[in-house]
Amino acid sequence: MTGYLIMFGIFAAVTTLAGAIFFLLYDSRASTTEDRLEVLTGKKSARIEDQGIMKEDLMNAGSGIAGLFGRMFQGVGNIGLFFEQADSPIRPDMFFLMSFGCLFLGTGVGWASRAPMPLWPVFAVGFSLMPLTWLWMRRRGRFKRFAKQLPDAMELIARALRSGHSLNQGIAVVVEEMPTPIATEFMLAYEEQNLGIPIEFALKNMMKRMPNMDLKFFVTAVAIQKQAGGDLAEILDKIGYIIRERFKIMGQVMALTGEGRISGVVLQAMPIALFLTLYYMNPEYVMLLFQDELGKKMLLYAVFMQILGAFVIKKIVAIKV
């Protein structure tokens, strides 16, 4: 009976993943002109609207599981911003479908690898978190690329200001000359101010999408210059210099903490690798941990100490600059 349930779970996982990929590749719905105007005036988010993950698209996601996840998404306000910051090509309803499919797939992998049944939920949860991990890494990588491109953008705008151009024209230069993601973000701000939104508010909207400390300095400098005047080009040069110097210090910190970070990875992976090795060499010996009361307590204690150790190591090697 258990074998049939596992086979049904694997079938459901594969079917769900195939359906999610199909809807992702063949969803060709277009936005209307009114929606585009609302995007450019800041009432809606551009990338989220283009990908169809706003309220109207979620309501039309269909019945069944997709519609259920769509309705669940409506009540959570920050998920849309999270997807926007990651520039995700996947809509939230399809994302949740994929996560749900990976849940069944992880259970099937646990069964196929002949892992102990108490570990099947671990496989299921681990596989279900894979899409979220991918999205989080995509968001984090986009933030890092934006931060690295910001000094060059500051220098471009400063040179444009010294050449007699306005701040809006300097932003347009960044859009034309620099790659994504910074060109995309500055393009949204440029389009917003073209439709009448003050440049300070357009830049603040960009800061919400890209929470970066250096970008906050830039937005604050623009707001002060608009109110009190001053040499904005010189301020931007200094901001770019500070960013580059901090990157140098961060590189030195990463080099000095490299040994500690590698040691942390090894110490975290070694108990898991040793457990799996012992299980496949002598399953009866390892199963005592799941059958005996003392063994269960030892497993819980080991998991707690692994999490505590990871937290302590991260605190040691994570030096803020």
pLDDT in tens, 172-212: 999 998 998 999 999 999 999 888 888 888 999 898 889 88
pLDDT category of residue 166 using cuts at 50, 70 and 90? confident
Report pLDDT for 140.
Answer: 92
Whether residue 301 is predicted with pLDDT greater than 50 in this model: the reply is yes
Summary mean pLDDT of the chain = 77
The pLDDT > 90 percentage for the chain reads: 12
pLDDT higher than threshold 50 for residue 249: yes
Mean pLDDT of the region 155-161: 91
Per residue in 75-109, pLDDT (tens digit) is 344 778 888 888 888 888 888 888 888 888 888 88
**pLDDT score, position 182:** 92
> What integer pLDDT is reported at residue 223 of this predicted model?
87
Torsion of CA 161, 207, 239, 213, to 10 degrees: 180
Give the pLDDT mean for 153-170.
89
Compare 47 and 147 and report the one with higher pLDDT: 147
Q: Return the domain boundaries, the chain.
A: 2-128, 144-243, 257-317
pLDDT value at 279 more than 90: no
The Cα–Cα gap between 321 and 308 comes to 24
What pLDDT, on a 0 to 100 scale, did the predictor assign at position 321?
64
Domain 144-243 fold: Receptor-associated Protein (1.20.81)
- pTM for the whole thing? 0.67
pLDDT above 50 (res 278): yes
- pLDDT class of 1 with cuts at 50, 70, 90: very low
Residue 320 has pLDDT above 90, yes or no: no
